Chains A and B, each alone.
Chain A
Amino acid sequence: MHDHDHHSELSEMQLRVKALETILTEKGYVDPAALDLIVEHYETKVGPHIGARVVAKAWAEPAFKRALLADASKAIAGLGLDTKVGDHLIAVENTPQLHNIIVCTLCSCYPWDVLGLPPTWYKSAPYRSRTVKDPRGVLADFGVTLPATTQIRVWDSTAETRYLVLPVRPAGTERLSQDELAARVTRDSMVGTGLVAA
């Protein structure tokens, strides 16, 4: 095996992954061209821009918001997005009195179809361990302080449901177009670790 003392994890992993892909290709278990397409999908097609578009539409169109909160997968399927959104997406609505935050304590479940791949912090031990016990402390790590009276709901994604936070629409945005609204919506606001700035 490779010498751990003389390689960083990165170079060790480059070698190990290359070796595995070579073996699997030689044996006919994977097609490298298919692997290229999977990587391309996650690097270029999915990301928080999809969720931001959904949030902006929900802010602008009350009927869509109702449909989204009733069945997010179904509501989003009607939007004609370039990529498809799979099943069991649940949208939860933030209000001035109630703040929702999403975590997966057991692994790293995350709504890939609307937010893309999760950031490293979402998959990290600090986030996974603390969010269910000390959500205000975790929010402070993100520079977010909520009023002491705000109710906080932590959703631990322990099944094949996936959660998307519908953040509070900031004041003073009544005249913005949906595209302009979407540009304000951050990834963190859709996980519940951020707020959308006014």
Chain B
Amino acid sequence: MNGLHDMGGMDGFGTVVAPAREPPFHDVWEGRVMAISRALAATGLWNIDQGRYGIERLTPEIYLTSSYHRKWHLRTEALLLEAGLISAAELAAGHAQGPAKPLPRVMLRPDKVPATLVRGTYERPAPAPARFKAGATVRARNIHPASHTRLPRYARGRTGVVDRIYGCHVFPDSYVSGKGDDPQWLYAVRFEACELWGADADPTVTVLIDAFEPYLMSA
């Protein structure tokens, strides 16, 4: 979706302010938000792209004015409400008011936490040979899916070069629907800054995106 989350190339957000030191969590609630989200995802309630799409679907006002962990929390509430696992009345009351529904998999127990925290692989066996070779000139398709996609707007319609091939990976645009992995070839595609930002762009700059094969066409 062409949402506010797709920020690459936007102007007006100001300078980057980077404090010298920062704790992992600024307050106890931030850690609980992350832990709740990870624990629920481990039960199979949502996958990584469904989780991202939950954040992308927050309203623009909320997206821009909420901290990172607040966005995670609001996403978690929204996905739980969508799944019918909790109710708005329960959130208002701060307590369960009805029976639990079965989870896709069992609740995450402490002994399973270490395994859950290991980042999984998204690479899958290839259903077909890769269409593009390293060095090939490709154009990112001018597509505007209404749902979740990982092709940033600034690259759409732009011509670049396949820098390297990463193998065949779970395809986010399909994975978000919960109907399977739909593996697609994944490439690092390199764009000159002037192709993305115009003739005045810095000639020493190139930008690389990870692009799935359905995002690309020969050029």
The contact string, 1 if C-beta is below 8 Å from chain A, for chain B 10-36, is: 110111111100111101110111111
Which among A15, A24, A157 has the greatest number of chain B C-beta atoms within 10 A? A24
Within 8 A of B (CB), among A114-152: 116-117, 119-121, 123-136, 138, 141-142, 148-152
Please classify how large the interface on chain A is, using the bins under 10, 10 to 19, 20 to 34, 35 or more. 35 or more
Which among A31, A34, A103, A126 has the greatest number of chain B C-beta atoms within 10 A? A34
Please classify how large the interface on chain B is, using the bins under 10, 10 to 19, 20 to 34, 35 or more. 35 or more
**Does B129 reach chain A (CB closer than 8 Å)?**
no
| A29 in complex: contacting residue of B40, B73, B94, CB < 8 Å | B40
The contact string, 1 if C-beta is below 8 Å from chain A, for chain B 185-199, is: 010101001001100
User: What is the bound-complex CA distance between A15 and B114, given in angstroms?
Assistant: 28
Q: Report the minimum CB–CB distance from B65 to chain A (whole Å).
A: 9
| Pairwise interchain contact B113-A34, C-beta atoms closer than 8 A | yes
**Does A64 reach chain B (CB closer than 8 Å)?**
no
The contact string, 1 if C-beta is below 8 Å from chain B, for chain A 29-40, is: 111011111110
| A19 CB contacts on chain B under 8 angstroms | 91, 93-95
| A154 in complex: contacting residue of B85, B172, B208, CB < 8 Å | B208
| A26 in complex: contacting residue of B27, B95, B151, B170, CB < 8 Å | B95
| Pairwise interchain contact B207-A132, C-beta atoms closer than 8 A | yes
User: What is the bound-complex CA distance between A108 and B206, given in angstroms?
Assistant: 20
Can you name the residue of chain B whose Cβ is closest to the Cβ of A152?
Answer: B205
**Does B146 reach chain A (CB closer than 8 Å)?**
no
| Pairwise interchain contact A105-B8, C-beta atoms closer than 8 A | yes
Q: Report the minimum CB–CB distance from A198 to chain B (whole Å).
A: 20
User: What is the bound-complex CA distance between A138 and B17, given in angstroms?
Assistant: 10
Q: Report the minimum CB–CB distance from A130 to chain B (whole Å).
A: 7
The contact string, 1 if C-beta is below 8 Å from chain A, for chain B 97-125, is: 00010010001111011101111111100
Whether A105 contacts B32 in the complex (CB less than 8 A), given A22-B95, A87-B121, A154-B206, comes out as no
| B6 in complex: contacting residue of A16, A106, A108, CB < 8 Å | A106
| A10 CB contacts on chain B under 8 angstroms | 27, 29
| B91 CB contacts on chain A under 8 angstroms | 16, 19-20, 23
A-B contact pairs, 29 of them (CB 8 A): A9-B67, A10-B29, A15-B94, A16-B91, A17-B32, A19-B95, A26-B95, A27-B96, A27-B100, A29-B43, A31-B39, A31-B108, A34-B110, A38-B116, A39-B32, A42-B25, A43-B23, A47-B24, A86-B121, A124-B17, A128-B8, A129-B8, A130-B16, A131-B8, A132-B154, A142-B18, A148-B204, A159-B186, A161-B188
